[in-house]
Structure 1
């Protein structure tokens, strides 16, 4: 999953980026509306976390622009001052949820997962395909009841594939879901490495990761 956080409080933003990274979500951070527009012009996101009070304007203005452009990305508004009028305005402009500072990081993660599930084919936290189950909240996977030993990025990649069973996802889509702009030193061919590792761990499971040469990868049931 790829998240854009638009927040000018640097310490809090860094804590959120770190925590979401640990939860398997690649997170880019913009401190201003102008910077956020730059990110949005070159990258698609699974969700936006948008502060209302920013140095160069209001986050509601960016929300209005995003919706006017036809972008239906889930948006969670984040602010220290959130009156009833603010909530109504944000929701009427197309916000999907809101969270008031200070907040528990676990609640932020849970709300993001809930927003993203609304857009996914499978709506539950626990995804299942054949004998394989995967939990988005814990990044844990079990194969026929036995826990799979996965790294954080292997688990994140498995989650992306399982949210789109039987579909071939472009390599670029998988890369964007795993790595933020701060990971620019990691090349797109790293996806092949993680796919290879997952294949070994799924061997004999009745599941395969299919390769469509020149296109991408998808997880399928054998036979």
Structure 2
């Protein structure tokens, strides 16, 4: 899972990024101008809008920043962290446009759980797992499971499979998957890098399936879909 983080406090920011990493979350730090103007791809129309974490000190005007962020058109799930804020203060933060709010002391386990909940909420998913036939995709960072057997996959493969699972039965465009992996990265590989990850992911699933099928279907010129039984029947009928 990837999130966008803005925190002017360098020490706290480093601690948050390290805590996220331990919980399987990659945090991309962006400057205030990019966050508050809704730029840097925050407001693009994609299948997955990256959760945004805004961290403030107790005396910062969090509400004004949140309102500016929303007025920019950014629709990303927004978690606000603010030190020593009262219940009334958290309520005010939520009313300003945040989806969730926490006050210090911060607990990294709770923060990451809330981020996963925000991401699930985008797709109306209420549990930590998505079922596609015999394949179970866990949304909390665990490796997927195929009929009781664990499939060890890389972080990039995990990101791809998670997005496909959240959009199960729907075609996810190549650009969405590519951006989820590399949009905020300084390193921009060739577009074929996505195909390599998809190929490796399919092989790992197929190796355990015994049916030579991964459940990941290619839609030429469009993208990929994690097939559900209903979608598979619909495709065969066409």
Larger Rg: 2
Of the candidates 41, 44, 47, which is equivalent to residue 43 of structure 1? 41
Q: 1:128-207 alignment to 2 at 5 Å?
A: 128-179=131-182, 181-203=184-206, 204=211, 206-207=213-214
Is residue 83–residue 104 contact of structure 2 (8 Å, CA) maintained in 1?
Answer: yes
How far apart are 1:185 and its partner, in Å? 4.2
Q: Cα gap change, 1:42/1:60 in structure 2, threshold over 3 Å: closer, same or farther?
A: same
Q: TM-score, normalised by structure 2?
A: 0.80
SS in 1 for 2:126: coil
Q: Number of residues paired by the alignment?
A: 220
Q: Cα gap change, 1:16/1:191 in structure 2, threshold over 3 Å: closer, same or farther?
A: farther
Structure 1 residue 6 and structure 2 residue 1: aligned? no
Range that drifts further, 100-109 or 203-212: 203-212
Structure 1 residue 209 and structure 2 residue 216: aligned? yes
Of the candidates 118, 121, 144, which is equivalent to residue 118 of structure 1? 121
Structure 1 residue 34 and structure 2 residue 33: aligned? yes
Of the candidates 209, 220, 223, which is equivalent to residue 227 of structure 2? 220
Q: Gaps spanning 5+ residues in structure 1: where?
A: none
Distance in structure 2 (CA, Å) of the matches to 1:189 and 1:23? 29
SS in 2 for 1:122: coil
Relative contact order higher in (CA < 8 Å, ≥ 6 apart): 1
- CA deviations 1:123-156 (Å, max 9, x no partner) are 2111111001122213321101101111122122
How far apart are 1:99 and its partner, in Å? 1.6
How far apart are 1:67 and its partner, in Å? 2.6
- CA deviations 1:173-214 (Å, max 9, x no partner) are 112323362442444432111101111122236542222233
Q: Gaps spanning 5+ residues in structure 2: where?
A: 43-48, 234-238
Q: TM-score, normalised by structure 1?
A: 0.85
More strand by share: 1
Distance in structure 1 (CA, Å) of the matches to 2:188 and 2:181? 13
Range that drifts further, 165-174 or 67-76: 67-76
Partner of 2:82: 79
